[in-house]
Amino acid sequence: MIKNITWLLSVLIVFGSLSACKKVIKLDLNTASPQLVIEGNIYDHSGPYTVKIFQTVNFDESNAYPAVTGANVILSDNAGNSEQLSEIYPGSYITSKINGVPGHTYTLDVNIGGKSYSAISTMPFPVDIESIYFQKSLFGNNKYPGINFIDPANISNYYRLIYLINGIKQEDINVTDDRISAGQTISYTIRPIDTDNKLKTGDVVTIWLEAVDQGVYEYFRTAGREGGQSASPANPTSNISNGALGYFNACSVRALSVVFP
């Protein structure tokens, strides 16, 4: 909701300047040595689960990220299960036996050339989506989807939403928590950044509701802020140690689809 306010305020700035014009410019940006990126997800449905490891590139290079091969990747949980992941493609490591169970805490250990990185994530219990609704946009005649769900009382809960149109994942980052609405019905409307992509009658709208832990929430909250109007953009707060970029997320996920009327 707070994100919505910030979003509205940034819309207003554009609104206050109807003469605004945009153009692509050439900037001489700083370069950086390649940084390690780790991305791992475990769900409360059966595996295999994937951990991807690759490197950053400079801004002016093409969007192809060098895979990090030959890493030693170990996934374990607090119930005594542990396994080494196998590399099926360069930089993609998959599990073969471990299963995501709500309430379990998972540890990811990655060792690359003697440097180790680790992350811990606890899988919360799933939260069902009650319904999907559509809300008219403030500008233009778009409609945006939103969901209603009931926040489990007495514990702090964190959520991440993933929005798909006809099975295609949208890029928007959406997270919310129950800071001001613990134990209540939470309504969350997705406000896409790319407003050109209008919903058409017959489109299948799917929303995944991931119940995530605080570390993962913080990662996506700060990642979503990156593109905002923050005066000092920074890297998202990762739950992986030793300066690696990316995240490790053990989450329960529930999905609901409707056809856009």
Partner 1 sequence: MRKRVEILALLVLVCLPALFAQQRFTISGQIKDSRTGEDLIGAVIQIRELPLKSVGTNSYGFYSLTLPAGSYEVTAQYAGYKPCIEKISLEKSQKLNFSLSEQARELDEVIVYGRRKDENVTKTQMGLLKLNVKEIKNIPVLFGEKDLLKTIQLLPGIQAVGEGRSGFNVRGGAADQNLILLDEATVYNASHLMGFFSVFNSDAIKDISVYKGNEPSEYGGRLSSVLDIKMNDGNDKTLSVSGGVGLISSRIVVEGPLIKDKGSFMISARRTYADLFLKASSDTSLNKARLYFYDLNAKANYRINEKNRLFLSGYFGKDVLGFGNTFGINWGNSTATLRWNHLFSDRLFSNTSLIFSNYDYKININSGVKLNIISRIQDYGVKQDFQFFGGDNSTLKFGFNEVYHQIIPGAITAISNVSLKSLTNKHALEHAMYVSHLFSLSQKISIEYGARFTLFNLIGPGTFYTYDNKGNIASRSTVNSGHFVKTYFNPEPRATLNYVFNQQNSVKTAYARNVQNLHLLSNSTSGNPTDLWIPSSNNAKPEISDQVSIGYYRNLSENKYEFSSEIYYKNLQNQIDYKNGAELNLNDNVESQILFGKGRAYGLELFLKKKSGRFNGWVSYTLSRTERKFDTVNSGAYFPAKQDRTHDISVVGMYDLSKRWSLSATWVYYTGNAVTFPSGKYVVDGKTMFYYKDRNANRMPSYHRLDLGATWLRKKTATFESSWTFSLYNAYGHDNPYTITFQDSKSDPTKTEAIQTTLFKLVPSFTYNFKF
- The tokens for 56 are 């950053």
- The tokens for 222 are 């700060």
SS3 at position 242: coil
Contact between 201 and partner 1 by CB under 8 A: the answer reads no
- The tokens for 27 are 């900037």
Choice between 85 and 173, CB closer to partner 1: 173
Please count the residues of this chain forming the interface with partner 1, following the rule CB under 8 A: 81
Nearest to 199 by CA among 131, 132, 141: 141
Contact between 221 and partner 1 by CB under 8 A: the answer reads yes
Contact between 35 and partner 1 by CB under 8 A: the answer reads yes
| Stretch of residues binding partner 1 (CB under 8 A), selected from 94-102, 103-111, 113-121, 228-236 | 228-236
Choice between 36 and 85, CB closer to partner 1: 36
**Residue 225 near residue 98 (C-beta atoms within 8 A):** no
Give dist(CA 81, CA 76) in Å, integer. 5
Contact between 167 and partner 1 by CB under 8 A: the answer reads no
Buried/exposed 68-99: b ≥16 CB within 10 Å, e otherwise: beebebbbbbeeeeeeebebeeebbbbbeebb
Contact between 192 and partner 1 by CB under 8 A: the answer reads no
Contact between 154 and partner 1 by CB under 8 A: the answer reads no
> Please, what is the minimum distance in Å from the beta carbon of residue 133 to partner 1?
8
Indicate the pairing of strand 36-43 with strand 245-259: parallel
> Please, what is the minimum distance in Å from the beta carbon of residue 49 to partner 1?
14
Q: What is the H or E stretch that residue 223 is in?
A: helix 214-226
> Please, what is the minimum distance in Å from the beta carbon of residue 124 to partner 1?
19
Question: Looking at residue 258, what DSSP letter applies?
Answer: E
Choice between 124 and 236, CB closer to partner 1: 236
- The tokens for 245 are 């970029």
**Subset of 81-120 contacting partner 1 (CB under 8 A):** none
Residue in this structure with the two tokens 């196998």, named with its chain if needed: 86
| Stretch of residues binding partner 1 (CB under 8 A), selected from 69-77, 183-191, 205-213, 251-259 | 183-191
Binding mask 229-248 for partner 1 (x = CB under 8 A): xxxxxxxxx-------xxx-
| Stretch of residues binding partner 1 (CB under 8 A), selected from 17-25, 67-75, 105-113, 202-210 | 17-25
Contact between 140 and partner 1 by CB under 8 A: the answer reads yes
Q: Measure Cα distances from 258 to 10, 47, 131, 134 in Å.
A: 30, 26, 9, 10
Choice between 141 and 154, CB closer to partner 1: 141
**Subset of 41-80 contacting partner 1 (CB under 8 A):** 54-59, 62-65
> Please, what is the minimum distance in Å from the beta carbon of residue 181 to partner 1?
6
